[in-house]
Amino acid sequence: MSRNGTSASNARLDVRKTYKMLIGGAFVRSESGRALDVEAPGGKWLGHVCRASRKDFRNSVVAARKAADGWAGTSAYLKGQILYRAAEMLEGRASGFRDVLQSIGLSLPAAKAEVSAAVDLLVYYAGWSDKYLQIFGSVNPVSSPHFNFSVTEPMGVVAYIAGEKRPLLDLVSGIAPIVVGGNAVIALSTGRSAVAAMELGEVLATSDIPHGVINLLCGLREELVGQMSSHMDVNALVVQGGDEKEHTASREACALNLKRFFPREANGRGDEDPYRILDTMEIKTTWHPIGG
């Protein structure tokens, strides 16, 4: 991120990055114009990130819904290619991400491990795109003369709140299984993680991911969790971290449109799990007669 301090008269001043959110494929500031300060654990000021508003979330849902059908209809092969491309792009920016993670408090070994794990996780889920249906779908041996088969289908638009323990990995581990299944996602990062999240936005924007499939917001969890739980055009909510009280309130709000609710542990156990893909899928069963 940026550097403080004055420069000597001949030294070059660096051009600092502005952190914007990714909504509908475009990099935007919050429509509310508000910002949040980000500080390193020692207290050093690092910069500003956007403070997403309910309207930003609303706009993200619109963008996600617009993209959802097209993404669901994309072939499994292409989805896998796109996620693999995201891994390539992230790998290519590994040193930059290590710097970012260090600036927000991770040690170098921890930063290295986290970036590698994030790349590998993208590759892992890319590899599931054209296989999970062979595990979770079925042809069912019904007793009547019908061909009967069950397939998975994405729910549509999924909202995700990332935890704060692993700035990059909490975000990637949440998003990847959601989108590989064909859903569009709006993901919220909070605290210092927001910086890593916004950098990830730049990786995703260069990965051939269609606009609106992945939307990245940053802001305050307590401000947005209610909106994410109650929005009538969101099909599922996945949250990492959060206490009993928050989960209960979310579940109640989700009941408004029967939103499916999935809590994930804050410690990030079980990142590699194809059942996370299944969580945000419906199952559709079709019958057809076998005869002349």
Partner 1 sequence: MTETKNPTKGSNWSYAPSPESSDHFKLKDQYGLFIGGKFVPAASGKRFSTINPATEKVLAHVADAGEKDVDKAVRAARTAYEKVWRKMSGRERGKYLYRIARIIQERSRELAVVESMDGGKPIRESRDLDVPLATAHFFYHAGWADKLPYAFPGKAVRPIGVAGQIIPWNFPLLMVAWKVAPALACGNTVVLKPAETTPLTALLFAEICQEAGLPDGVFNCITGAGSTGAALVKHPGLNKVAFTGSTDVGKAIQKSLAGRTTKLTLELGGKAANIIFEDAAIDQAVEGIINGIFFNQGHVCCAGSRLLVQESVEKEVVAKLKARMAHLIVGDPLDKNTDIGAINSKAQCDRIQDYLKVGQEEGAELFQTNCPIPDKGYFIRPSFFTKVAQSHRIVQEEIFGPVLAIQSFRTLNEALEKANNTPYGLSGGVWTDKGAKIFKVTRGIRAGVIWANTFNKFDPASPFGGYKESGYGREGGRHGLRPYVELS
User: Which residues make up the interface to partner 1 (CB under 8 A)?
Assistant: 76-77, 80-81, 84, 120, 123-124, 126-131, 134-135, 147, 274, 288-292
**In whole angstroms, how close is the CB of 113 to partner 1 at the nearest point?**
15
Tokens 């779908």, located at residue: 137
User: Residue 259 or 276: which CB sits closer to partner 1?
Assistant: 276
**In whole angstroms, how close is the CB of 203 to partner 1 at the nearest point?**
17
User: Residue 47 or 137: which CB sits closer to partner 1?
Assistant: 137
User: Residue 84 or 261: which CB sits closer to partner 1?
Assistant: 84
**In whole angstroms, how close is the CB of 208 to partner 1 at the nearest point?**
14
Which of 45, 56, 55 shows the shortest CA–CA distance to 21? 56
Give the number of other Cβ atoms within 10 Å of residue 8's Cβ.
6
Residue 48's beta-bridge partner residues?
A: 37
**In whole angstroms, how close is the CB of 87 to partner 1 at the nearest point?**
9
User: Residue 139 or 232: which CB sits closer to partner 1?
Assistant: 139
User: Residue 29 or 85: which CB sits closer to partner 1?
Assistant: 85
Q: Which pair of tokens denotes residue 169?
A: 């990995």
Q: Which residues contact 72 (CB under 8 A, 6 or more apart)?
A: 153, 154, 156, 182, 183
Task: Classify residue 156 by burial, with Cβ atoms within 10 Å: 0-12, 13-18, 19+.
Answer: buried
**In whole angstroms, how close is the CB of 68 to partner 1 at the nearest point?**
23
User: Residue 117 or 228: which CB sits closer to partner 1?
Assistant: 117
Amino acid letter, residue 94: A
**In whole angstroms, how close is the CB of 165 to partner 1 at the nearest point?**
23
Cα 161 to chain centroid distance, Å, stands at 8
**Residue 74: C-alpha distances to residues 13, 49, 71, 123, 159 (Å):** 45, 33, 5, 18, 20
What is the CB-side half-sphere exposure of residue 103 using CA atoms within 13 A? 21
